[in-house]
Every structure is written in structure tokens, then in C-alpha cells.
Amino acid sequence: MRHAARPLHLAPVAPPALFLTLPRFADGGAVERVRRATRGLRLPNLGAKVTGSNGKGSTSHLIAYGLAEAGLRVGLFTSPHMLDPRERARVVTPGGTTAIPAEALWAPVDGVATRFEALTVAAARYFADIGVDAVVWEAGIGGRLDATRAFDCPVTVLTHVALEHTNVLGTTLPEITADKADLTTPGGTLIVGPIGDALVAVARARVAHCRLVSAPVATALRGAHQGWNAACAVAALDTLLGTSGPGREHTGDFLRTTRVPGRFEALDGQLWVDAAHNVSGLEAALMTARATFGDGWTLLFGASADRDVEAMARAVDGAPRHIVVTEAHHKGAPLERVSRAFAPRSVIAVPTPRQALELARGLGPEPVLATGGLFLAAEIMAEARGTAADSLVWF
């Protein structure tokens, strides 16, 4: 099972021009459009949908690898990607993990309005064509309006709730919780992570069946928060397979072998990356860094322009010995803004991720953690592997 749990490392493949003519967002209607575009597909009844402000990617991976360990062929749909769009649709089996072929990912799709809808339909068609036994769908944004709501699954997971995408999901935590809980298929079970009693009550009111996780589960993924993600995954697997279902007695190794790209991932002996993209995610990454490195480490920080950069900077305490800040090529907050957010604290401002990485490595042999956003983490990952950060394909 170890082979199946390794992340994919693909050479970036650019989307065709026709795909890029589609907008990123549309004003509602995604669920209905995806349902029409996938009507008649023979998708399996077994599967899960996963949403949450943080942790949904890790939880989706864990569920997929747990199902594969039980002997199933599993379609895994996640977003966004780190280095290559084909990461978004994979097939996980006991023998390995394969990415969707480029021709299947970019196949023309009629009747959709956005790029995410097109990718969702392409993944569904591919999973149906090859006959997977189960599918795990990671939601894009929220739940009520998300394209993945189009698919019926017996289990939905809500990992975490924070203020995010307030223009779409609502301006309060209860509103955001309600939106995410609405991803649940009518009559299905909602697995809920540690979101607090008040928000649990909101979630319960939206679904017929609700199951709460009560304690973290040990996993090879670093960070206390990953223990809760693992607990959500195990609860989902128990609900889907039963505690004594076919192959269920073999599950458990996936908790020790699953790796998720960009989630406190060690790229070499010195460099680590984490895709934390909001305040709570960054706090979890910093807590993990302190537990892993102690006080002697360097923070390489950059955030997306649409994030609360100032609040993220305030979350950084005195633990890093050095702070290097930079601006990601894609959606990066301006370097001046990031530098100013840390004032009066001393930082080293470097204009590009490549230069920032070179400088951070040169400060000494101590560990370097690159974090603050998925795009920054991906660009640092690309540079560390010899790929120019500005060549990555985003949409």
C-alpha cells in the first residue's frame, strides 16, 4: 500500500485555449448544470464528499487511500492542484495512483459555465468510463452552490469552519457552516469535525443524520490538526464500509503511509512547504513548525492578495529565527504590503520566490518552512524541483 500513498509528481501540462475561455465563477446554477452534464453516467453509489475551510484536501486523500486499502478502485477529485492540473482527478488502487490523462481532463464539455464545472464533469466522465468502485469528491467552495453537490454520496464530511469567501458563503460562522453542511446528499450522513457546539447545532439542523468525531487519530501527517482530519476520515470509512465490512479489517496502514502534497511536506533535508492559506491554517502550520523544529528555523512567507495578510502576519510569533517575505507570481499580495504587515518586526523582503528560496537557504543549515498560501507553496515546490515558478498553470 505504500506505493499507492505517494504523491504524484507530474510535468505541468497547459490547458487548451478553449478551456481558458470559460470564466472562473458564475452566478449560481452550477449544481443543476453539472447534474445535466453527467446525467446517465454510471457512477458508483459508494463515496464521500468533503468540505471545510481547512483540512478538506488531507481528509479527502485519507478517505481515498483508506478505501483503496480495503481493495477498492477509487476516484479522487481534489482542487486546486499544486503543480499540474492532472492532480485534480486521480485513481487510487491498492497497487498505485494514476492521474487522469490530459485528453480526458481537457475533453470539451457542453452546458457548463465555469472552468471548475468543466473539470468536475471531465472527472466524473473519466471515473464512470473506467468503472471505479467509489469516488471521493473534494468541494471547491462551500457546499450549497458547489458543483460537487450534484453527486449523490452516502457520506459528507465537514472538517473545519472559518471566515472565508464571505461574499459567497456568508459573513458569519453559522452562515458558512450552514452553506457547507448543505453539501450533504438528502438522507446521507454528515461527519463533523471539531467545530464547536454552537456550529455543530447549525450543522445538525441542516441534515437528517449527523456524526461527530470525538478524538484525534494518529497519522503520519504532521500536525495536531491532521489527527482530527484523520478522525474524520476514519469515521467516514466506518460509515461507508462498516466496522467489519469487506476489506475493512485491513484498513489502518493508510494512516501511517498517506502523504498529501504541500501539507507540511519535506522536500529535502532543509526545505518544507505548507499550503496554509488563512489565519487558522497558518496558526496550525506554525504550531507544527514549533513542535518539529523548536526555535531554530526560517519562515519563508507569502500570501495571496485576497487574504487577510495583516492578520496572518500577526499570527507569526517569535519562534522563527528569520522571516523572509516574497510575492508569489500568481495572485501574490504585493511585497510592500506583506513587508508592512510584519512591522515593526524585522523581515527580509525578496521580490521573487526563486530569490527568496535561495536567500532563505543561505541563511544557514536550519530548516526553512515556506507557507502562507497554496500558490506560494506550489511555486517554492516548483523552484526546488527545478521548474520555474512563473511557468505553473493556474486557472
Give me the pLDDT at residue 307, please.
93
Q: What is the pLDDT of residue 12?
A: 62
DSSP letter for each residue of 63-100 = HHHHHHHTT--EEEE-SS-SS-GGGGEEEEETTEEEEP
Query: Which pLDDT belongs to residue 242?
Result: 87
- Per-residue pLDDT, averaged over 278-299, amounts to 93
Q: What angle do CA 30, 34, 36 make, to 5 degrees?
A: 120
What is the rounded CA–CA span in Å between residue 198 and residue 180? Answer: 15
Share of the chain above pLDDT 90, in %: 85
Confidence label for 331 from pLDDT (cuts 50, 70 and 90): very high
pLDDT surpasses 90 at 249: no
Residue type, 118: A
pLDDT band at residue 347 using 50, 70 and 90 as cut-offs: very high
DSSP assignments along 132-153, one per residue: -SEEEEE-SS-STT-GGGGS--
pLDDT category at 11 given cuts 50, 70, 90 is low
Q: Once rounded to an integer, what is the mean pLDDT over residues 251-280?
A: 92
DSSP letter at 295? T
Give pLDDT, residue 175. Answer: 97
What are the DSSP calls for 311-331, one per residue?
A: HHHHH--S--SEEEE---TTT
Report the distance separating Cα 96 and Cα 16, nearest Å: 28
What CATH superfamily is the domain 3-257?
A: Mur-like, catalytic domain (3.40.1190.10)
Per-residue confidence (pLDDT) for residue 394, from 0 to 100: 85
Residue 299 backbone phi and psi in degrees, to 5: -95, 125
Q: Please say whether the beta carbons of 368 and 382 come within 8 A.
A: no
Res. 209: pLDDT tops 90:
yes
pLDDT band at 250 (very low <50, low <70, confident <90, very high): low
Highest mean pLDDT: which of 78-82, 198-202, 240-244?
A: 198-202
Per residue in 219-236, pLDDT tens?
A: 999 999 999 999 999 999
C-alpha cell at 171: 459573513
Residue 30 in this model has a pLDDT that exceeds 60: yes
Question: CATH topology for 265-391?
Answer: Protein-Tyrosine Phosphatase; Chain A (3.90.190)
> Which residues have a Cβ under 8 Å from the Cβ of 200 and sit 6 or more positions away?
192, 210, 212
For residue 145, which phi and psi values (nearest 5 degrees)? Answer: -105, 0
Instruction: Report whether pLDDT(2) > 50.
Output: no
In this prediction, residues 55-61 reach a mean pLDDT of: 97
Confidence of residue 1 (pLDDT cuts 50, 70, 90): very low
Query: pLDDT tens across 69-99, in order?
Result: 999 999 999 999 999 999 999 999 998 999 9
Lowest model confidence (mean pLDDT) among 239-253, 263-277, 350-364: 239-253
Mean residue pLDDT of the chain comes to: 93
Give the dihedral sign, CA 191/195/197/199: negative
* pLDDT at res. 3: 42
Tracing cell 494512516 back to the chain, one arrives at 255
Of 23, 97, 37, 40, whose CA–CA distance to 64 is shortest? 97
CA separation for the pair 382, 386 (Å, rounded) = 6
| pLDDT at position 163 | 86
Give the pLDDT of residue 221: 96
| pLDDT for 210 beyond 70 | yes
With contact defined as beta carbons under 8 Å apart, do 322 and 293 qualify?
no
Region 174-196 average pLDDT: 97
Report whether pLDDT(248) > 60. no
Q: What is the per-residue pLDDT across 134-164, written as a single tens digit (0 to 9) for each?
A: 999 999 999 999 999 999 999 999 999 998 8
- pTM of the entire predicted model: 0.93
Asked if 3-257 and 265-391 have one fold, the answer is: no
Give the model's confidence band at 20: pLDDT under 50 very low, under 70 low, under 90 confident, else very high.
Answer: confident
CA–CA gap between residue 360 and residue 99 (Å, rounded): 33
Segments making up each domain of the chain, as ranges = 3-257, 265-391
Q: What mean pLDDT do residues 184-190 have?
A: 98
In this prediction, residue 9 carries a pLDDT of 56
